Chain A
Amino acid sequence: MLHIVNQSPLCSTTLQSVARVAQGGALLLIEDGVIAATKGVDSPLSEIMARMPVYALLPDLEARGLANRVLDGVTVVDYAGFVALVAEHRNCQSWL
């Protein structure tokens, strides 16, 4: 399953819930969710990265001035990469 998170880990518990519940597949961070993919932010991302690949959407990183702060191990994708991720997973969940 592709798990999609669009909220900041500093304002919402969504990423904590994904860390607790998601068993595998992949995580894609979009919109404010990309904040979790940046250096110096305390979040459960490292725990998630130990279990599954993590992607972050470049246009959202760029829009927030965060594209040069991406954590090692996070794969940056464009919109076409977003579509490819959705296509290659059997199902997906946009966590709210």
Chain B
Amino acid sequence: MKKFMFVNRKAPYGTVYALESLEVVLIAAAFEQEVSLAFLDDGVYQLVKGMRTKGVEMKNFVPAFRVLPDYDIDKFYVERESLEARGLTEEDLIVDVTLLSAKELGALMDEQDVVLSF
């Protein structure tokens, strides 16, 4: 089993990166790898509660994050600096996350076998 980390740095809906990342996460889960998700920069917006996407006619894919623990993906890491820079707190997020400093997150990246960036 290899350690996979998915690094998410883009806000949802403006680009397709966030949705594509989630698709690949689900594929990795199917292959029973050790998967963790990291959210930094505008990527932290992917986890914000209360999205209503009807007006932009796009699927709100974010609730899918809530079912990832059913596929043994429950390691959600959020960089504290990025969250704070956007006026957000843990309470604003739809899943339970582990807040890490930039340095802690960097150290965790170094431990991975594979890092996929979105």
Q: Is B53 an interface position by the 8 A CB rule?
A: no
User: Is A17 touching B9 in the complex (CB atoms < 8 A)?
Assistant: yes
Alpha-carbon distance between A95 and B106 when the two chains are bound, in angstroms: 13
Alpha-carbon distance between A1 and B113 when the two chains are bound, in angstroms: 10
User: Is A22 touching B118 in the complex (CB atoms < 8 A)?
Assistant: no
User: Is B110 touching A25 in the complex (CB atoms < 8 A)?
Assistant: yes
Q: Is A20 an interface position by the 8 A CB rule?
A: yes
- The stretch of A57-65, A68-76, A86-94 in contact with B is A86-94
Contact residues in A for B59 (Cβ distance below 8 Å): none
User: Is B109 touching A21 in the complex (CB atoms < 8 A)?
Assistant: yes
User: Is B110 touching A24 in the complex (CB atoms < 8 A)?
Assistant: yes
Alpha-carbon distance between A96 and B7 when the two chains are bound, in angstroms: 9
The bracket for how many chain B residues form the interface is: 20 to 34
The bracket for how many chain A residues form the interface is: 10 to 19
Contact residues in A for B9 (Cβ distance below 8 Å): 14, 17, 95-96
Contact residues in B for A24 (Cβ distance below 8 Å): 110
User: Is B110 touching A1 in the complex (CB atoms < 8 A)?
Assistant: yes
* Residues of A that sit less than 8 Å from B by CB: 1, 13-14, 17, 20-25, 91-96
What are 30 contact pairs spanning A and B, CB under 8 A? A1-B109, A14-B9, A17-B9, A20-B81, A21-B40, A21-B102, A21-B105, A21-B106, A22-B106, A22-B109, A23-B103, A23-B107, A23-B110, A24-B110, A25-B110, A91-B110, A91-B112, A91-B113, A91-B114, A91-B115, A92-B115, A93-B7, A93-B109, A93-B115, A94-B117, A95-B7, A95-B117, A96-B9, A96-B10, A96-B118
* Residues of B that sit less than 8 Å from A by CB: 7, 9-10, 17, 40-41, 79, 81, 102-103, 105-107, 109-110, 112-115, 117-118
